[in-house]
Amino acid sequence: MKPYVKINFACSMDGRIALRGGKAFKFSNNEDLARVHRIRSESDIILVGRNTINLDDPKLVVNEKYHKSDHIPDAAILDSNLTVNYEARVFTYPRKVVIFCGSGAKDEKIPVNLRSKIVLRKSETSRPDSGFVLRELGKMGYSRIMIEGGKSVITSFISEGNWDEISIFYSPVMMGEEGIPMFGVAEYPIELGTPEVSKLGKGFLVRIKKGL
Ligand SMILES: NC(=O)c1ccc[n+]([C@@H]2O[C@H](COP(=O)([O-])OP(=O)(O)OC[C@H]3O[C@@H](n4cnc5c(N)ncnc54)[C@H](OP(=O)(O)O)[C@@H]3O)[C@@H](O)[C@H]2O)c1
């Protein structure tokens, strides 16, 4: 069965998801973090791009400070050439980390002593596309997928129509044109559904469900 895909990210009022050079910025307030960690706790697997791991080093777990849960979701990384940093924190939990790579990737550099179990899925193309990723995750039994970025991954899944819900938290800051935009190169315009908007602390949340 096709998994249900929730895309979630946070940005500035001018739609930037990171500072100049891709440096991470904490856009979310406590109210938003409680929401994000609740969605993590309800997800089977959390997916990000290779740059997000190498730049931000997220743990991709549920932080009990924001939401109580014993569930450790699996993680997925899109990484065509297997250049992810294997010392990243995502690999330090007892769970599966599924890495989607391209046809030419060489897997001999994957360490064998990681706490997480690496599962490799190689696409027939040089880069794993979002359709391939979802088909494979579905075959592996994942039904609730959360996507947390970054820009290129968000762009791929949304522009290729492989999403069910998009949640964007807007923080009351401006980042300017050198900040990293939330969307990259794609065929535009991309039609979305009707957004639901709600206030969340000093920011606001935009939630769009496909087909509404
Ligand atoms: N504000 C937020 O909520 C939030 C959340 C997460 C990240 N971020 C920010 O996002 C920035 C990183 O974004 P990014 O665009 O540079 O990187 P990214 O989306 O994290 O990763 C992109 C990389 O993934 C690989 N990839 C493989 N298959 C892909 C596919 N089908 N579609 C897209 N990418 C694929 C590509 O590298 P290969 O060619 O090597 O495979 C690509 O360069 C960072 O600055 C981070 O701080 C912000």
Rounded distance from Cα 64 to ligand 1 centre (Å) = 26
171 CA → ligand 1 middle, Å: 21
**Which CATH number belongs to the domain containing residue 145 in this structure?**
3.40.430.10
Is pLDDT of 212 > 90?
Answer: no
Using pLDDT thresholds of 50, 70 and 90, give the confidence band for residue 1.
confident
* Ligand 1 proximity of 170 Cβ (cutoff 6 Å): no
Choose one of 152, 154, 157, 168 to mutate for the ligand 1 pocket test, by most ligand atoms within 8 angstroms of C-beta.
152
| Dist. CA 28–CA 130, nearest whole Å | 26
User: Which amino acid is it at 3?
Assistant: P
Q: Is the CB of 76 under 6 A from ligand 1?
A: no
Distance 1 CA to ligand 1 centre (A): 26
In whole angstroms, give the CA distance from residue 179 to residue 158: 21
What's the pLDDT score for residue 41?
A: 98
- Residue 189 per-residue DSSP state: -
Q: Which atom of ligand 1 is the closest one to the Cα of 48? A: 20
Percent of residues, the chain, with pLDDT higher than 90: 98
How many Cβ atoms are within 10 Å of 79's Cβ, its own excluded? Answer: 22
Secondary structure class of 156 (helix, strand, coil)? helix
What pLDDT digit, counting tens, does each position of 26-42 carry? 999 999 999 999 999 99
Answer for the pair 181, 23: CB distance below 8 angstroms, yes or no: no
Cross-strand bridge partners of residue 146: 6, 46
Residue 103: predicted pLDDT: 97
User: Is the Cβ atom of 122 under 6 angstroms away from ligand 1?
Assistant: no
Tell whether ligand 1 has an atom less than 6 A from the beta carbon of residue 164: no
Domain of 120, in residue numbers? 4-209
Q: How does 27-40 read in b/e, with b if 16+ C-beta sit within 10 Å?
A: bbbebbbbbbbebb
105-142 pLDDT, tens per residue? Answer: 999 989 999 999 999 999 999 999 999 999 999 999 99
Tell me the whole-structure pTM to 2 decimals: 0.98
| Count of structural domains within the chain | 1
